[in-house]
Amino acid sequence: MSRLGPEPGGVCFHCGLPIPRGISFAAEIDGERHPVCCAGCRAVAELIAGSGLGAYYERRDGYARTPEPEDGIDRAFLDEPAFQRDSQLSRVRERGSGSGGCSSGG
What is the distance between the alpha carbons of residues 62 and 40, in angstroms, rounded to a whole number? 19
- DSSP, collapsed to helix, strand or coil, labels residue 78 as helix
What is the distance between the alpha carbons of residues 58 and 87, in angstroms, rounded to a whole number? 38
Number of compact structural domains in the chain: 1
50 within a domain of the structure (yes/no): yes
Residues spanned by the domain of 19: 1-65
22 within a domain of the structure (yes/no): yes
**pLDDT per residue over 49-98, tens digit each?**
999 999 999 999 988 777 776 777 777 887 787 777 776 554 544 545 44
Residue 26 has pLDDT above 50, yes or no: yes
pLDDT at 75: 76
pLDDT at 44: 93
pLDDT at 46: 94
What is the distance between the alpha carbons of residues 81 and 98, in angstroms, rounded to a whole number? 26
97 within a domain of the structure (yes/no): no
